[in-house]
């Protein structure tokens, strides 16, 4: 019987060791699962952070593009305003040139009219002289004719 008694504590000892080993194995497995869960959670957390950063970068890029588009639009509007000012100045210059040209033409017409009047006066004087001078010549000839006695007969 002693042998039986010896075997029972031995069996109990073996069972206890088995249970302890099983507990240790269970604990190691739980730790590994915990680490695995922690690693997965950390990985998910990193993915979320990366996605968040990507979203932030995309949003910043969109904002930068919008800002650039607005700046380009403002520059375009400024350029158009400058072109309009240049066109307006050119139109004003052309109008001033037209006014100057009209003024010169008006002065030229006045000068032309004056010249025409002077020419008319000269023509009238020439015609008058043409009439007066021959008449004076005729009178002189008559006086000469009368004075010469040989011609009277």
Query: What does the pLDDT look like over 39-93, one tens digit per residue?
Result: 888 999 899 888 888 988 999 999 999 999 999 999 999 999 999 999 999 999 9
- Assess if residue 111 is contained within a domain: yes
DSSP state of 153: -
Lowest pLDDT segment from 2-16, 99-113, 117-131: 2-16
- Assess if residue 152 is contained within a domain: no
Distance CA 19, CA 56 (A): 53
Please count the structural domains in the chain: 1
- Provide the pLDDT for residue 150: 63
pTM over 0.75: no
Residue 98: other Cβ atoms inside 10 A: 10
Give 32's Cβ-side CA count (13 Å radius): 6
- Assess if residue 151 is contained within a domain: no
- Provide the pLDDT for residue 21: 87
Q: Which residues contact 151 (CB under 8 A, 6 or more apart)?
A: 145
- Assess if residue 153 is contained within a domain: no
Position 143 pLDDT exceeds 80: no
* Residue 127: φ, ψ to 5°: -65, -45
**Nearest C-alpha neighbor of 60 from the set 52, 48, 72:** 52
Residues in the chain: 153
Of the pLDDT bands very low, low, confident and very high (cuts 50, 70, 90), residue 3 is very low
- Provide the pLDDT for residue 1: 41
Q: Which two tokens stand for residue 29?
A: 């497995």
Residues spanned by the domain of 67: 2-146
Position 146 pLDDT exceeds 90: no
- Provide the pLDDT for residue 10: 63
Across the range 23-35, mean pLDDT stands at 88
Distance CA 54, CA 61 (A): 10
Q: Which residues contact 146 (CB under 8 A, 6 or more apart)?
A: 152
- Provide the pLDDT for residue 78: 96
Q: Which two tokens stand for residue 116?
A: 């025409």
Q: What is the mean pLDDT of the chain?
A: 81
Distance CA 93, CA 103 (A): 15
- Assess if residue 131 is contained within a domain: yes
Residue in this structure with the two tokens 């997965």, named with its chain if needed: 40
- Assess if residue 40 is contained within a domain: yes
Highest averaged pLDDT of the listed ranges 24-33, 46-55, 59-68, 118-127:
59-68
Q: CA angle at residue 66 from 65 to 70, to 5 degrees?
A: 115
């Amino acid at each position: 019987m002693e042998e039986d008694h010896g075997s029972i504590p031995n069996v109990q000892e073996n069972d206890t060791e088995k249970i302890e080993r099983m507990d240790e194995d269970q604990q190691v497995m739980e730790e590994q699962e915990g680490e695995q869960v922690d690693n997965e959670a950390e990985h998910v957390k990193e993915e979320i952070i990366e996605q968040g950063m990507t979203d932030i970068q995309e949003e910043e890029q969109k904002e930068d593009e919008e800002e650039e588009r607005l700046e380009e639009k403002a520059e375009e509007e400024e350029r158009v305003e400058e072109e309009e000012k240049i066109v307006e100045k050119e139109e004003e210059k052309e109008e001033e040139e037209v006014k100057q040209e009209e003024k010169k033409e008006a002065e030229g017409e006045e000068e032309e009219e004056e010249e025409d009047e002077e020419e008319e006066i000269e023509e009238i004087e020439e015609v008058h002289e043409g009439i007066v001078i021959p008449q004076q010549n005729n009178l002189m000839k008559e006086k000469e004719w009368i004075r010469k006695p040989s011609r009277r007969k």
